[in-house]
Each structure stands twice: as structure tokens, then as C-alpha cells.
């Protein structure tokens, strides 16, 4: 019993240390941005920052829902939002740690808190990420229109290579699981098939389509911010730039950066529109990054306070 208590204390301490490390990397990211306050003093820039900060903070707080719905469906447990949201917002800042996987691994704290299977939470996270990428791709293609062919011509090879590696990895995992854990796999497949039964379908569909709504809201937000910061662009150009910004998020999974030190989002957006709005686009991406960092920290603090309030 004493060993269990000590282990729990060690795990709690480790969690605090990871949070501190993540916040340290947040500070480092802000410093590395080399922000010039003179560039951010324009009323239009301030308005764009405020809009992005508020909406992104709200999206993080609400964004827990799709993952929670998948977790409920796969585990068969009625997990309260009050238990999942603090875990989600805390693990969200882990993305600033090197490796870009800790934000997903951190979600498994919910399994320990709610005494459910870690496999259920991990599978829910995989579904959450897959549908996030899928709907981001759909919305970006709709906004880009015919220009998607140009982007695929430039970045399609990266996507194809990663897709092929991903398929090979899944095949390897399937073979290992089939050979080593056949009975356990059958057990989980049998249990997960219940998640697709009639009474659970509505919950799953809500989780699946959440990111379509999420990306539509994001697109409207980014287009509004672009209209504020790049007033010279017409509606068609704003739509294409917004689509490029969303598409670049997917490219960011497979490409560490654009040539010459330009960030991937700047690279994709400049590829779409050329040099016409180059300075404004670079500033726009910088402001969105700053807003994103502040939104992540704000959501983390809100989640922490919310968790403490609910635990009383």
C-alpha cells in the first residue's frame, strides 16, 4: 500500500515537472519569435490578435468534446467533461516539448484518473487526430479550389512518402498484434464493435463531424484576421490564403520547414499568392502564432482552475 502511495506521489511530481518543462519551452518559443512591438502596434493587428486569441482559447476548451465522445464510445463509460477537460488542456501545452508526441501521450492521464483502459484512451486519441487531419484537408481543399493541384505538385511527394511509411507501419503493427496478442486483439475488437451499435452511433457521428465545424470556425476566423491585416486582398485571394494556412498545418506534420529558414506556413501561403502580400503574410503568421501560444496557456490556466473547482 505504501509503495502504491509513493508511486502515486512520484507520478504526480513527474506530471508537475513535465508541465514546468512545457511552460519553459513556451517561453523559449516566444523569445525565438523575435517579436518587434512596433510591428504589433497597429489597431488592425491588435484586433486580429484579439479575435484569434479569444476564438482559439474557446476552441481548445470546447475541443475536448470530440476526444471525450470517442473515449466514451470505446470505453463504454460515461466520463464527465469536468474530468476530461483539465487533462486535455494540460496535455495540449505538452506540444511545445521536443518530439511533438507528448500532447497525445499526456491524454492517457485520463485513463489513470477514471480507471479505464489506456488502450481505449489511446485509440480515442488516434481517432481524434485522424478526423482532425481529414476535415482540415477537406475544408482547405474547398477554400483552395483549383490551386490545390499546385500545392500537391510541390508538397505531394512529402505526403505520399509519409502515407506509405504510415501504411507500412500499420501493417507491421497488425502483424505483431496478430502473432503476439491475437486473443487480446479479438477481445478489444469485439468490445469496440459495440461502439458502432445504434445507441452509440449518434455520439460517434458527433465526434466525427465536430472537426468539420471546428475547421469552418477556424477558417472564418483566419479569413477575418487576414481581411484585417491584408486589406488589399480580394475575397477570392482571402479564401485561397486561408485554405493555404489550413493546408500548411497538414504539411507541417511531414515537413520541418520551408527552404531558407521560412516557416512552413509562410512558405505555403507565399507559394499560393506569390510575393504580392509577402510582408503582410509573414506578419499575419507571426500574429497567429503569438495568439496560438497565448491561447494554449490561457486554456491551460482555465483548465487548471476548473479542475480545482470541480475537485472541491
Which tens digits make up the pLDDT trace of 262-303?
467 777 887 777 777 888 888 898 899 889 999 999 999 999
Q: Is this structure's pTM higher than 0.75?
A: yes
Q: How far apart are CA 36 and CA 40, in angstroms?
A: 7
Query: Would the pLDDT of 259 be above 50?
Result: no
Assigned C-alpha cell, 289 = 502564432
pLDDT confidence band for 38 (50 / 70 / 90): low
Q: Under DSSP, is residue 163 helix (H, G, I), strand (E, B) or coil?
A: helix
Q: Hey, where are the domains in the chain?
A: 43-157+199-311
Residues contacting residue 312 through CB under 8 Å, at least 6 positions apart: none
* Separation of alpha carbons 305 and 312, rounded Å: 11
How many Å apart are CA 268 and CA 258, to the nearest integer? 8
In tens, the pLDDT along 172-226 reads 766 776 666 666 666 666 666 666 666 677 888 888 889 899 999 999 999 999 9
Amino acid at each position: 500500500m505504501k509503495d502504491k502511495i509513493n508511486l502515486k506521489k512520484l507520478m504526480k511530481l513527474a506530471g508537475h515537472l513535465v508541465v514546468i518543462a512545457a511552460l519553459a519551452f513556451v517561453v523559449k518559443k516566444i523569445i525565438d519569435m523575435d517579436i518587434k512591438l512596433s510591428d504589433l502596434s497597429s489597431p488592425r493587428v491588435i484586433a486580429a490578435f484579439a479575435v484569434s486569441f479569444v476564438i482559439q482559447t474557446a476552441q481548445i476548451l470546447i475541443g475536448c468534446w470530440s476526444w471525450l465522445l470517442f473515449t466514451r464510445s470505446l470505453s463504454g463509460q460515461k466520463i464527465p467533461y469536468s474530468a476530461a477537460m483539465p487533462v486535455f488542456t494540460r496535455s495540449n501545452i505538452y506540444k511545445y516539448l521536443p518530439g511533438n508526441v507528448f500532447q497525445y501521450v499526456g491524454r492517457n492521464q485520463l485513463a489513470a484518473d477514471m480507471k479505464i483502459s489506456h488502450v481505449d484512451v489511446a485509440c480515442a486519441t488516434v481517432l481524434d487526430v485522424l478526423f482532425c487531419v481529414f476535415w482540415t484537408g477537406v475544408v482547405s481543399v474547398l477554400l483552395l479550389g483549383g490551386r490545390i493541384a499546385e500545392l500537391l505538385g510541390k508538397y505531394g511527394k512529402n505526403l505520399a512518402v509519409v502515407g506509405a511509411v504510415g501504411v507500412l507501419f500499420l501493417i507491421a503493427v497488425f502483424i505483431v498484434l496478430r502473432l503476439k496478442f491475437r486473443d487480446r486483439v479479438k477481445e478489444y475488437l469485439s468490445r469496440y464493435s459495440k461502439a458502432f451499435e445504434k445507441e452509440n452511433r449518434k455520439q460517434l457521428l458527433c465526434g466525427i463531424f465536430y472537426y468539420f465545424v471546428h475547421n469552418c470556425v477556424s477558417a472564418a476566423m483566419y479569413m477575418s484576421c487576414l481581411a484585417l491585416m491584408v486589406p488589399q486582398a480580394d475575397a477570392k485571394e482571402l479564401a485561397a490564403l486561408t485554405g493555404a494556412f489550413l493546408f500548411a498545418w497538414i504539411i507541417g506534420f511531414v515537413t520541418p520547414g520551408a527552404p531558407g529558414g521560412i516557416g512552413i506556413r509562410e512558405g505555403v501561403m507565399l507559394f499560393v499568392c506569390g510575393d504580392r502580400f509577402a510582408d503582410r503574410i509573414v506578419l499575419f503568421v507571426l500574429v497567429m502564432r503569438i495568439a496560438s501560444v497565448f491561447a494554449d496557456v490561457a486554456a491551460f490556466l482555465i483548465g487548471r482552475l476548473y479542475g480545482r473547482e470541480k475537485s472541491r
